[in-house]
């Protein structure tokens, strides 16, 4: 930004003439001379002090206000500059230097409504505007959504300063505001050709590339922007957002944290961090961040509903309900908020309220398959099978890719004895989610009911491959094999089932004994606790938790070697356990 004192020589002569006639203004004259000399030498601090003296000594002299306003503009103290420049123009409306500085100060403080008329008058008067002033004029026009005019003025600035990379960066930003992504991308690239180290151009190009879904290139540009501007909170925020778009939530979180640390008022960084934590299953960590966002932005319905969702995910549906209700009080036409509130009620087994909210959501979004599915599930839990089936069938038609509606329909049809319909729905569900071991087991059971033994055996074997430790599936398969005359195979399956049942029973005993030992250990009854942990290990030597707790009990007895041995056994049983 240029210090606009172009008329100071003339000003000095005028001021000198005026002051010569007034001997009592001699000090103001001297201060003006000193201020002008300091400004000419780039000593803005001294210039400011001297021009302030002029204004104090001779407030009726316009040139003092104009000169002080110009220096304050150069120092970036725009509100103070505006006060002086407005005073100058009251005394001398034709002072173009004051007009230019005032327009610039208005533009820099966001008062584009005040800046534009001054710029327009300057342009009409055919005043020679510098590239900086043309750029400021363009920014004011862009703020007023006058994009074509903003582009015109920015291009005029570029014509006057063709090597100024920042002007190209500004032009690209205007194109981006218009969502003219190709022109924006090309213009930012030109800015970087002129100045490869211009952090703002890397930032803006990265945002454009992210909008264009060119995520690897966007991340590269935004990373460069963050490296060039390590204290730029916006660069960290946008880099985090690009990483989120690339499904890299874990990598994005540190950038959101950095953005928030650099700019505590950047609430969007807290919000984005909370969402990323929620997506990776760290709902507990997200709650405090969502609460902070809501304190800063109490009408942020997205934050309210996301906080509610985090609480529901943590099993705290009762605490979630008030947040959903607040969101709906702000916007009663939010179908998603009705849906999420219904899910919270569903978690609390408040089926009537859940049904009411799902119906309210469907009134707003009748084609929403998830709402139909949730409503069907609520009716199922109320044992209202006809209504449940109606809603689930609607969900299945609206979303042919989701495995959930046909799976639940398969269960309901099976309960009604409609085995052909049940099998058809389960097959559809398993085509969409073939890793559903319970689904294959259920389909195998239906085929067994229909005496389709080959199909039943095939489905049950798939279930066992996915869930090998469920004894019930082996028992069902044994029955199928018996019907097929494969008696030896049936016996083998029954033996597997018996072994699995024995293991399950032993694990239950071990779990019970370990829990009892934990209670005794909390009470300080260490010897009794050790007995219970040893009972648990006797029931199931592979139960790592019993070894871990026995180690803790030994340590409290001072038996360090025994404790270390038990921890080693636990680590061998659960090698990935921290």
Residue 214 has pLDDT above 70, yes or no: yes
Q: How far is CA 204 from CA 201, 304, 512, in A?
A: 5, 30, 60
Rounded Cα gap, residues 143 and 165, in angstroms: 21
Token pair 């085929």 is found at: 447
Residue 7 has pLDDT above 80, yes or no: no
3 state DSSP class of 546: helix
- What does pLDDT average to over the chain? 90
17, 442, 446, 480 from 452: Cα distances, Å = 114, 13, 9, 9
| Contacts with 261 (C-beta within 8 Å, 6 or more apart), sequence order | none
Other C-beta atoms closer than 10 Å to the C-beta of 543 total: 22
pTM > 0.85 = no
pLDDT tens for residues 378-430? 999 999 999 999 999 999 999 999 999 999 999 999 999 999 999 999 999 99
The confidence score (pLDDT) of residue 22 equals 53
Residue in this structure with the two tokens 């071990």, named with its chain if needed: 510
121 closest CA partner among 94, 141, 148: 94
Average pLDDT over residues 359-374: 96
288-299 pLDDT per residue, tens: 999 999 999 999
What is the tens place of the pLDDT at every residue in 179-191?
999 999 999 999 9
Residue 11: which pLDDT band, with cuts at 50, 70 and 90? very low
Instruction: Write the pLDDT tens digit of every residue in 153-179.
Output: 999 999 999 999 999 999 999 999 999
Q: What is the CA radius of gyration of the chain?
A: 37
Residue 555's pLDDT band (cuts 50, 70, 90): confident
Q: 303-349: per-residue pLDDT in tens?
A: 999 999 999 999 999 999 999 999 999 999 999 999 999 999 999 99
Q: Are the C-beta atoms of 126 and 98 separated by less than 8 Å? A: no
d(CA 573, CA 56): 84
Q: What is the mean pLDDT of residues 192-220?
A: 95
Domains of the chain: 1-143 (1.25.40.10), 486-573 (1.25.40.10)
Percentage of the chain modeled with pLDDT above 90: 74
Which pLDDT value is given to residue 39? Answer: 85
What does the pLDDT look like over 446-460, one tens digit per residue? 999 999 999 999 999
């Amino acid at each position: 930004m240029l210090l606009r004192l172009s008329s100071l020589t003339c000003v000095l002569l005028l001021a000198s003439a005026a002051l010569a006639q007034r001997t009592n203004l001699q000090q103001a004259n001297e201060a003006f001379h000193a201020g002008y000399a300091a400004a000419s030498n780039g000593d803005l601090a001294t210039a400011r002090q001297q021009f302030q003296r002029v204004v104090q000594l001779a407030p009726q002299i316009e040139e003092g206000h104009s000169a002080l306003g110009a220096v304050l503009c150069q120092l970036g103290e725009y509100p103070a500059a505006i006060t002086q420049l407005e005073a100058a123009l009251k005394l001398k409306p034709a002072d173009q230097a004051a007009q230019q500085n005032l327009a610039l100060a208005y533009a820099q403080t966001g008062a584009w409504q005040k800046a534009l008329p001054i710029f327009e008058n300057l342009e009409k008067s055919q005043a020679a505007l510098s590239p900086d002033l043309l750029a400021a004029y363009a920014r004011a026009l862009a703020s007023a959504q006058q994009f074509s005019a903003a582009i015109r003025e920015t291009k005029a600035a570029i014509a006057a300063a063709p090597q100024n990379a920042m002007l190209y960066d500004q032009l690209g930003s205007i194109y981006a505001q218009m969502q003219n992504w190709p022109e924006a991308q090309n213009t930012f690239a030109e800015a970087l050709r002129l100045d490869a180290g211009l952090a703002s151009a890397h930032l803006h190009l990265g945002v454009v590339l992210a909008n264009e879904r060119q995520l690897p290139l966007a991340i590269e540009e935004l990373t460069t922007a963050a490296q060039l501007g390590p204290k730029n909170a916006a660069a960290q925020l946008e880099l985090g957002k690009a990483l989120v778009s690339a499904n890299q939530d874990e990598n994005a979180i540190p950038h959101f944290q950095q953005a928030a640390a650099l700019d505590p008022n950047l609430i969007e960084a807290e919000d984005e961090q909370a969402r990323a934590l929620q997506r990776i299953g760290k709902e507990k960590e997200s709650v405090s961040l969502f609460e902070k966002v809501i304190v800063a932005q109490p009408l942020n319905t997205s934050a309210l509903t996301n906080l509610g969702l985090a609480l529901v995910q943590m099993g705290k549906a009762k605490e979630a309900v008030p947040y959903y209700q607040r969101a709906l009080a702000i916007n009663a036409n939010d179908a998603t908020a009705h849906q999420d509130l219904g899910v919270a009620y569903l978690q609390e087994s408040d089926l009537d309220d859940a049904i009411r909210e799902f119906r309210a959501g469907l009134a707003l979004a009748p084609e929403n398959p998830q709402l139909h599915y949730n409503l069907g599930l609520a009716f199922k839990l109320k044992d209202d099978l006809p209504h449940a089936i109606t809603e689930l069938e609607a969900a299945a038609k609206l979303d042919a890719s989701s495995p959930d509606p046909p799976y639940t329909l398969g269960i309901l049809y099976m309960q009604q004895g409609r085995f052909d319909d049940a099998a058809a729905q389960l097959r559809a569900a398993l085509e969409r989610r073939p890793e559903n071991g319970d689904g294959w087991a259920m389909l195998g059971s239906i085929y067994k009911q229909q005496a389709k033994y080959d199909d039943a055996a095939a489905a049950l074997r798939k279930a066992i491959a996915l869930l090998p430790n469920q004894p019930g599936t082996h028992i069902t398969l044994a029955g199928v094999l018996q019907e097929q005359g494969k008696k030896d195979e049936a016996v083998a399956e029954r033996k597997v089932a018996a072994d699995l049942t024995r293991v399950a029973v032993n694990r239950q005993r071990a779990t019970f004994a370990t829990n009892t030992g934990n209670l005794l250990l909390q009470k300080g009854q260490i010897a009794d606790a050790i007995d219970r942990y040893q009972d648990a290990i006797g029931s199931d030597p592979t139960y790592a938790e019993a070894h871990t707790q026995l180690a803790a009990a030994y340590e409290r007895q001072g038996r360090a070697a025994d404790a270390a041995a038990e921890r080693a056994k636990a680590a061998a049983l659960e090698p990935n356990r921290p």
